[in-house]
Structure 1
Amino acid sequence: MISAKRVESEKEREDAFYVRQKVFVEEQDVPVHLELDEYDESAIHFVAYDDEMPIGAGRIREPEPGIAKVERVCILPQYRGQHLGNLMMDKMESYAKEAGLTSVKLNAQSYAVTFYEKLHYEITSPEFLDAGIPHRAMQKNI
């Protein structure tokens, strides 16, 4: 059974880092020192599972009052196309609403802009490079 949840234990946190390592470091060649950063200690992490196997990850931070910043959203390649990105975003947006945050920002890899637009995010920047990968800043009010 596939599910997603807020990380509540060190094991779940390591599971989220496992997925990020597979997607960002191994698949997309992001240097590990950029992928695992100083915000991992304070961010709220989320993980998706297929039974016990970690298959998705993401995190939220509050860089400014009332604003959620969604980051590091990823799904293992063999699970893409099954709407798991929607599941992850729903969990993270629900958390943001419950925490009283009013807006969600993210930096989407340019290929994923259409995915986020379907979730009602709007582009707020020209294209820029992050870790050598084209991105667009996006935002929506919740």
Structure 2
Amino acid sequence: MSTNELVIRLAEDARDLAAVFVIRGAVFVAEQEVPIEEEWDDRDPVADQFLALLDGVPVGTVRLVDQGAADGGTGGVSGLLGRLAVLPEGRGSGTGAALVRAVEERARERGFSSVELHAQTHALGFYERLGYTAHGEEFLDAGIPHLHMVRRLD
């Protein structure tokens, strides 16, 4: 019997990271047809990778990247939320919102004053409900329309 217990935590070991990449592969590569060579990048090893478990089963993931460090600096004041993916069995359970809130909490711990993201345009309403604001021009990433979004944490 399902209890719908949702746990969000940082990926802790190789098994967790494998689950992260399986989820991203299922959602982005298989479902959305993102080329596999565009899905994994050099930010993955330096990112905080989160894993969502619903009743103990991995169903979602997201990552947080220190934008300054990822761009060759020593660290920044802004984190980049990315690669938010929830498997069909986790959708509608609050998993996506819980993953975003976990990233925001971690960003605060790391001293970031804001979280930025590149939202697929069909997901704008989801992020707006969580306090994010779109800015700039629409752009394509892996052939999918996106907009820049940001949320101040102070």
User: Does TM, normalized by the shorter one, top 0.5?
Assistant: yes
When normalised by structure 1's length, the TM-score is 0.96
Which runs of 5 or more residues in structure 2 are unaligned?
A: 69-75
Matches within 5 A, 1:58-77: 58-64=62-68, 65-77=76-88
Match of 1:115 in 2: 126
TM-align CA RMSD: 0.9
Matches within 5 A, 1:29-40: 29-40=33-44
When normalised by structure 2's length, the TM-score is 0.89
Number of residue pairs the alignment of both structures matches: 142
> Which of the residues 1, 7, 15 maps onto 1:3?
7
Structure 1 residue runs of 4 or more that deviate by more than 6 Å after TM superposition: none
DSSP-derived class of the 1:124 partner: strand
DSSP-derived class of the 2:131 partner: coil
Q: CA deviation at 1:46?
A: 0.3
Match of 2:46 in 1: 42
8 Å CA contact retained: 2:9, 2:52: yes
Q: CA deviation at 1:59?
A: 0.3
Q: CA deviation at 1:78?
A: 2.5
Q: CA deviation at 1:3?
A: 1.1
Which runs of 5 or more residues in structure 1 are unaligned?
A: none
> Which of the residues 46, 54, 57 maps onto 1:53?
57
Determine what percentage of the aligned residue pairs are the same residue: 36
Match of 1:13 in 2: 17
Q: Deviations over 1:16-48 (max 9, x none)?
A: 111101000000000111001111111110010
